[in-house]
Chain A
Amino acid sequence: EAAVTQSPRNKVTVTGGNVTLSCRQTNSHNYMYWYRQDTGHGLRLIHYSYGAGNLQIGDVPDGYKATRTTQEDFFLLLELASPSQTSLYFCASSETGANTEVFFGKGTRLTVV
């Protein structure tokens, strides 16, 4: 069973603060993804990567940076957090191949006050 671990699971920060969300997968998957989940919008893709050092822009990238430091680790950075970024964030990973399923982490609930 693929393992995707997110940390922290919950985070509260102030407007203008810096936040880093971490994701580690231990299944040697090439693809990793960051999504945000909001009521009425489903899962929206922020950034994704197909390998260490690679970064692809998703559909809602504004206000987010991401970095893939190793095959296992993918980070999401909010450098000037805003209340509109209050959301549930999911990391996911998959093998190479468009037909492969993704495995999700348990999510990080971020609140920006």
Chain B
Amino acid sequence: AQKVTQTQTSISVVEKTTVTMDCVYETRDSSYFLFWYKQTASGEIVFLIRQDSYKKENATVGHYSLNFQKPKSSIGLIITATQIEDSAVYFCAMRDMNYNQGKLIFGQGTKLSIKP
């Protein structure tokens, strides 16, 4: 069965520092896709970055990067040079390639607060 778990309920860091948010997942599929989404204070949910399970290189987009550790079923989100506007709730999500017909499931979310 698919499962995505985020155990960090909230994190607070000082502006311009680096933060890492954790996520672990379960799947029976050998190929799958992992995503991170951001929910802003207004409630809007937007896509940030994706990791393909068959790629060894960690994905990077702007100041977002991923720490993909396949043997540990772990996909961490790293935000460097954090800004106040990075304050939001971050969700990890997963889709199998071969099973579950497009089912996309999310973790519980981590609330990130950036302090000046």
Contacts and interface: CB of A to CB of B under 8 A. Distances in A.
Interface of A: 31, 33, 35, 40-45, 48, 50, 56, 58-59, 88, 90, 92, 94, 96, 98-99, 101-104, 106-107
Nearest to B99: A98
Nearest to B3: A59
B97 A90 contact: no
Main secondary structure of the interface of A (DSSP, over half): strand
Main secondary structure of the interface of B (DSSP, over half): strand
Contacts, number: 61
Interface of B: 6, 9, 32-33, 35, 43-47, 50, 52, 91, 93, 95-97, 101-109
Contacts of B43: 88, 106-107
A45 B45 contact: no
A42 B107 contact: yes
Nearest to A44: B106
Nearest to A96: B102
